Amino acid sequence: MTVTLKTPDEIEKMRIAGRLAADVLEMIAEHVKPGVTTDELNALCHNYIVDVQKAIPAPLNYGAAPGRPGFPKSICTSLNHVVCHGIPNDKPLKEGDVMNIDITVIKDGYYGDTSRMFHVGKVPEWAERLSRVTQECLYKGIEVVRPGARLGDIGEVIQKHAEKNGFSVVREFCGHGIGSVFHEDPQVLHYGRAGTGMELKEGMTFTIEPMINQGRPETRVLGDGWTAITKDRKLSAQWEHTLLVTADGYEIFTLRSDDTIARTSA
């Protein structure tokens, strides 16, 4: 596993990309309401990233290869039992829906990647609880990040909190290293055992993005080749930040005004 430690110049570019990704989530929040389509949300985000931020929406055409079309939209909208990589479409949102919007922007060759849950109108209490516990899982994972910690420390604290609350952790998808490449080493699992896995070092940058299910952890990918859903069709939730391992802890590049965790551990 080859992990790139970022230089101060690269870190500054990632700060900017992370801030832009967070800004998109803040911009789109007021538009998430019953009756709007995820296609409309996609268009708003695309235009904001391209025209206002002068950046590139990383998901658009991502993964294109001979015989395989790339991802067709500029954001991922994962609704209710969709775990991740949901494709925006023309179906209107309805009262009680819960949805993850995942934003990744490229600015000056560097990536910022972040996602959050949105509640469409009033949602059931149990849906709200799943969303809240998943965000707590993310925060608990971030709070163990520091030089000398291990990737298994992140996985264990997330898994324990999810399972203590009666939920399960998705195994097939995980966090990842990020920088001038969208997905690079290391893989950041959201389950595991403390004291195992790669040791964290100052200058590492990666995402933590737990996907937590209301029911069983198993997922399957639909025929479009992208949309992952829970096998039992129960709800899934996800929150994601991009962060840096600093000399004494962490710095979150994608912090938003609605976050309740500090930007840095200092």
186 preceded by a cis bond (ω within 30 of 0) = yes
| Nearest-angstrom CA–CA distance, 100 and 79 | 6
Q: Is 108 assigned to a binding site?
A: no
Q: Is 240 assigned to a binding site?
A: yes
Q: Is 102 assigned to a binding site?
A: yes
Tokens of 32: 């998430």
CA-to-CA dists, residue 101 to 77, 109, 119, 216, angstroms: 5, 22, 11, 22
Q: Is 185 assigned to a binding site?
A: no
Q: Is 209 assigned to a binding site?
A: yes
Q: Give strand ranges (E) for the chain.
A: 56-57, 76-79, 82-84, 98-107, 110-119, 168-169, 175-177, 184-188, 205-208, 211-213, 219-221, 228-230, 236-238, 241-245, 250-252
| Nearest-angstrom CA–CA distance, 100 and 82 | 9
Q: Is 199 assigned to a binding site?
A: no
Annotated binding site: 85, 102, 113, 176, 183, 209, 240
**Binding site for substrate: which residues?**
85, 183
Task: Report the binding-site residues for a divalent metal cation.
Answer: 102, 113, 176, 209, 240
